[in-house]
Amino acid sequence: MNKKEVAHIRKQFKLDHDLMNIYDILNVYIMKETNEIYHWERLPFGLVDREKQELYMGNFKKLLTGELDHKLFELKFQEEAEEPARVMLHQGLVTGDPEEWQDLMMMLVDKMLVDAKYEKDMVVTFVRGQYYRPTKARNEEAEESGKDEMFAHPFILCSVNSTEQQRKNLMFDYVEREFKYNIIVDPIIKLSSPEQGFFYPSVTDNYSDVNRILYCTGKSNYPDPQFIEQVLNAERSVTALEERSFFEEIVKELAGEQLDTTTLAQVYEEIQQVIEGGEGEEEPPKLDYKDVERVLAASGVENVTAEKVERAFETVIDDKYYEMKASSVIPKYTTKSIKIETKVATISVSPQDLRYVKQVNYQGKRCLMIEVDEEVVIEGFTLSTETL
């Protein structure tokens, strides 16, 4: 599943969209004290108040917002699992009986309650529906538009949301003309910030892939292993943060703990060129040990050979054939994504401008030197330039 396919699905979640139909919605309220289901209800989505529909649509769109391998993870199902979620989901996908779908989703909720301890009351929301994708691009000159021929994609979406108590407030009653204490105790369901969830089935080359599922987490780079393995019975995926850690350790194995900013900036530039060269491709560009050898050699790291890089892969990852996504191993290239933290200041710089920052020794003291093109102004005062 690539970011274009995710974006296409996310855009369908709005009211009155002619390429999206949602049939049923199931809400399940879980109490934190007892870790049990307190209440549940299923309704045809069309019978839900329009104001509520808008809130749900915003929640579903928020759930599917984020970068792949950061907040969205395409997962394979485990081959062997007792009462596998894959069977329940597939059966729920193909059944036309709302009650059977409801029973299958409630079985998934039961799996969520096993060995789980929630800090807040939780609401689990399921919807089943169908979205459509044109089989060809719209041709404005043709008599028939591309929308006349479409693939239908049935789906199940799940969103897990926490609740919070309303704040105590002092209110003014216009009718009685008096100040009143707010005594509302009903919890608020945080639909604007889903904790986690999933979209099934995933998509491969614009076709539904029932062997994979898109897991979504609200906290970047922190998927819930218990939910993935015990509830979805899926195989855990490597996060972008973990892959960056792999890359950093491999570079340290080959170049040592210390690198100057010129070399590091060149490494980032070489990898950025790989990323830009792969734009438009279905699969994101990846780096194997041969690619890492080329990147480091082109960046000026000495004595780098394919054999050394291969050994570094085996040492760090225990797999010399492992391929890392190029976009995962470097910070965002054109934004100030690198934070340089010292006890006196925190400086933000983009990878492409890192070469203008250097650590130098001045009069026996370690200093950070930044090359600038313009005058530096602090609190309205232009700094005077000192010659070292």
Please give the full DSSP string across 280-337, using - where no structure is assigned.
T-SSPPEE-HHHHHHHHHHTT-TT--HHHHHHHHHHHTS-TT--EEGGGSS--TTTT-
Q: What's residue 138's pLDDT?
A: 47
Each residue's pLDDT tens digit, 105-131: 999 999 999 988 888 999 999 999 999
pLDDT for 83: 81
* Cα R_g (the chain), whole angstroms: 26
pTM: 0.86
Helix and strand numbers (H, E) in the chain are 9, 20
The SS3 assignment for 50 reads helix
Q: Which residues of the chain have pLDDT under 50?
A: 137-147
Using CB atoms within 10 Å of the CB of residue 352, give its burial: 0 to 12 exposed, 13 to 18 middle, 19+ buried. Answer: middle
Question: What does the pLDDT read at residue 126?
Answer: 98
156 vs 172: CA distance, rounded Å? 44
- 159 vs 82, 123, 215, 253, 348, CA distance in Å? 23, 8, 10, 42, 35
Cα 85 to Cα 28, 80, 148, 322: the distances in Å are 18, 11, 35, 28
Asked, as a colleague might, if the bond just before 201 is cis with ω within 30 of 0, I would say yes
In the numeric block, which tokens belong to residue 83? 């009462």
Strand partners, 359: 368
The pLDDT of residue 136: 54
pLDDT tens column, 146-157: 445 778 899 999
Task: For residue 155, give the 3-state DSSP assignment.
Answer: strand
Burial readout 235-271 (b: 16 or more C-beta within 10 A, e: otherwise): eebbbbeebbebbeebbeebbeeebebebbbbbbbbb
CB-CB neighbours of 42 under 10 Å: 16
Q: What are phi and psi of 59, to 5 degrees?
A: -65, -45
